[in-house]
Amino acid sequence: DAKTTQPTSMDCAEGRAANLPCNHSTISGNEYVYWYRQIHSQGPQYIIHGLKNNETNEMASLIITEDRKSSTLILPHATLRDTAVYYCIVRPYNYGQNFVFGPGTRLSVLP
Amino acid sequence: GAGVSQSPSNKVTEKGKDVELRCDPISGHTALYWYRQSLGQGLEFLIYFQGNSAPDKSGLPSDRFSAERTGGSVSTLTIQRTQQEDSAVYLCASSSPPFSGEETQYFGPGTRLLVL
């Protein structure tokens, strides 16, 4: 079972920041937070991951609370192409651990 | 290519036939995973290969499903005597060798299987 809770769906206006929350209150010390997204009819696309520090890359920023029980994925300037299902996954950084995908958040970026 | 590739993109077959799905992982990635995704559902883990070690088959739903990985690179997922409930998107992912500091899984585009 997925160890994360995400809202079922969210809307965001094009050009605005999209903030996607994720709760992972039972996260363990050796577990990382990963974010993937899946655009319709495509395979999941890696976005970002982190352990306890905030992370930023060319796609997004990841903000993890100090207690690590929740996190937020931020798409700074959402475009229509960012419309997708976003998955928050908690996974040990151990080799061979498959990803357990929950239902995710369906983000709709509106013009 | 730079990413994980899968073939065919789409496969339509008749109930009872066997199918083979292929995955080409990213060059240098020693770990390879197979998942499937039914319509509107999340990803379901099927099998995992790491180098020359015995694969983790714990996710295979029945003995009609099997997979092999030749030469530590290309993998083939075989479904024998297909059933309509096998219809799904079959996704392959690969990741870097252990202790490389990067174990993120990168997914292919998937094979859409439809069993009539």
Write out pLDDT tens, residues A33-58: 999 999 987 899 999 999 998 999 99
Minimal-distance CA residue of chain B relative to A98 = B45
Q: Which of A46, A96, A102 sits opposite B42 (nearest CB)?
A: A102
Minimal-distance CA residue of chain B relative to A43 = B109
Minimal-distance CA residue of chain B relative to A42 = B109
Q: Is the pLDDT at A94 greater than 70, yes or no?
A: no
Cis peptide before B55 (omega within 30 of 0): no
CA distance A62 to A77: 14
What is the pLDDT at residue A41? Answer: 79
CB contact under 8 A, A98 and B106: no
From first CA to last CA, the distance across chain B in angstroms is 33
Mean pLDDT (whole number) for A20-24: 96
Q: Is the pLDDT at A95 greater than 70, yes or no?
A: no
CA distance B73 to B50: 10
Per this entry, what is the length of chain B? 116
CB contact under 8 A, A101 and B50: no
| Cβ–Cβ < 8 Å for A27, A3 | yes
Question: Which residues of chain A have a CB within 8 Å of the CB of B31?
Answer: 95-96
Interface check for A26 against chain B (CB to CB < 8 A): the answer is no
Interface check for B32 against chain A (CB to CB < 8 A): the answer is no
Tokens in use for A97?
A: 């651990």
| Cβ–Cβ < 8 Å for A63, A43 | no
| Cβ–Cβ < 8 Å for A7, A104 | no
Bridging pattern class, strands A105-110 and A9-13: parallel
φ/ψ bin of B93: left (φ > 0), alpha (ψ from -120 to 50), beta (otherwise): beta
Question: Which residues of chain B have a CB within 8 Å of the CB of A98?
Answer: 33, 35, 45, 48, 59
DSSP string, A31-86: EEEEEEEE-TTS--EEEEEESSS-EE-SS-EEEE-TTSSEEEEEETT--GGG-EEE
Q: How far away is chain A from the Cα of B18, in angstroms, using its nearest Cα?
A: 24
Q: Is the pLDDT at B5 greater than 80, yes or no?
A: yes
What is the pLDDT at residue A74? Answer: 98
Per this entry, what is the length of chain A? 111
At B19-39, the pLDDT tens digits run 999 999 999 888 899 999 998
Tokens in use for A109?
A: 């970026």
Task: Please list, in sequence order, all residues whose beta carbon lies within 8 angstroms of the beta carbon of residue A10, skipping any fewer than 6 positions away.
Answer: A18, A20, A105, A106, A107, A108
Q: How far away is chain A from the Cα of B16, in angstroms, using its nearest Cα?
A: 26
CB contact under 8 A, B50 and A93: no
3-state secondary structure of B10: strand
What is the pLDDT at residue B22? Answer: 97
B104 pLDDT tier (thresholds 50, 70, 90): confident
| Cβ–Cβ < 8 Å for A100, A4 | no
Interface check for B90 against chain A (CB to CB < 8 A): the answer is no
Q: Which of B48, B59, B107 sits opposite A44 (nearest CB)?
A: B107
CB contact under 8 A, B106 and A46: yes
At B45-102, the pLDDT tens digits run 999 998 888 888 989 999 999 999 988 789 999 999 999 999 999 999 998 766 655 5
Q: Is the dihedral of CA B76, B100, B98, B109 positive or negative?
A: negative
